[in-house]
């Protein structure tokens, strides 16, 4: 776990922390912190840091981090998978178009 601060500091140019206000109920608002990732390497690194910090906290039986970051982690994974699928589809379309002589 000693290397985690280095990994997080390496991600600072790629990851920006944002805050938004979400309606908690009819009267109240809740401030939520999230991340915007500038590129695919930032997404991979952010997921890596989430996994390492999460495992560290499980080892120390602290579940607060996992509770607050569970959805953020899976949203990041979902975006990462969508990005891979989109690139795969674009590449295959390009190959099929070039085979047909449309490129």
Instruction: State the sign of the Cα–Cα–Cα–Cα dihedral 58, 63, 64, 65.
Output: positive
Residue 65: is its pLDDT beyond 50?
A: no
Q: Where do the structural domains in the chain lie, given as residue ranges? A: 4-100
Per the listing, tokens 């776990």 go with 1
* pLDDT, tens only, 12-59: 566 666 666 666 666 666 666 666 666 666 666 666 655 555 454 444
Q: Which of 53, 74, 50 is nearest to 62 (CA)?
A: 53
- pLDDT digit string, tens, across residues 2-13: 444 445 555 556
pTM of the predicted model over 0.95: no
């Amino acid at each position: 776990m000693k290397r985690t601060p280095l990994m997080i500091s390496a991600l600072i140019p790629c990851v920006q922390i944002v805050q938004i206000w979400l309606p908690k109920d009819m009267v109240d608002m809740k401030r939520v912190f999230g991340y915007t990732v500038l590129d695919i390497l930032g997404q991979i690194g952010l997921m890596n840091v989430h996994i390492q910090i999460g495992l560290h906290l499980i080892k120390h039986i602290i579940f607060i981090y996992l509770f607050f970051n569970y959805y953020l982690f899976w949203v990041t994974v979902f975006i990462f998978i969508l990005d891979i699928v989109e690139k795969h589809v674009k590449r295959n379309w390009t190959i099929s178009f070039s085979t047909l002589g449309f490129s």
